[in-house]
Chains A and B, each alone.
Chain A
Amino acid sequence: GAVVSQHPSWVICKSGTSVKIECRSLDFQATTMFWYRQFPKQSLMLMATSNEGSKATYEQGVEKDKFLINHASLTLSTLTVTSAHPEDSSFYICSATSAGVIEAFFGQGTRLTVV
Chain B
Amino acid sequence: AQTVTQSQPEMSVQEAETVTLSCTYDTSESDYYLFWYKQPPSRQMILVIRQEAYKQQNATENRFSVNFQKAAKSFSLKISDSQLGDAAMYFCAYRKGGANSKLTFGKGITLSVRP
A100 contacts the other chain (CB 8 A):
yes
Which of A31, A91, A95, A106: most chain B CB closer than 10 A? A106
B102 contacts the other chain (CB 8 A):
yes
Q: Do B100 and A95 touch (CB < 8 A)? A: no
Residues of A within 8 A of B95 (CB): 104
Q: Tell me which of A38, A98, A99, A104 contacts B103 (CB under 8 A).
A: A104
Q: Give the contact stretch, choosing among B43-51, B62-70, B76-84.
A: B43-51
Cα-based distance from A46 to B89 in the complex (angstroms): 18
- A97 with B47, Cβ < 8 A, contacts A41-B110, A42-B108, A102-B33 known: no
Q: Which residue of B lies closest to A51 (CB)?
A: B100
Q: Do B102 and A93 touch (CB < 8 A)? A: no
Which residues A83-115 have CB closer than 8 A to chain B?
91, 93, 95, 97-100, 102-104, 106, 108-109
- A34 with B99, Cβ < 8 A, contacts A42-B108, A43-B91 known: no
Residues of B within 8 A of A12 (CB): none
Residues of A within 8 A of B50 (CB): 102-103
Residues of B within 8 A of A38 (CB): 43
Interface string of B83-104 (1 = CB under 8 A from A): 0000001010001000110110
Q: Which residue of B lies closest to A104 (CB)?
A: B103
Residues of A within 8 A of B100 (CB): 31-32, 49, 51, 97-99
A1 contacts the other chain (CB 8 A):
yes
A72 contacts the other chain (CB 8 A):
no
Please list the residues of chain A having a beta carbon within 8 angstroms of any beta carbon in chain B: 1, 31-32, 34, 38, 41-44, 46, 49, 51, 91, 93, 95, 97-100, 102-104, 106, 108-109
Q: Which 9 interchain pairs have the tightest Cβ spacing?
A: A32-B100, A106-B45, A99-B99, A43-B105, A43-B107, A109-B43, A43-B108, A44-B105, A108-B44
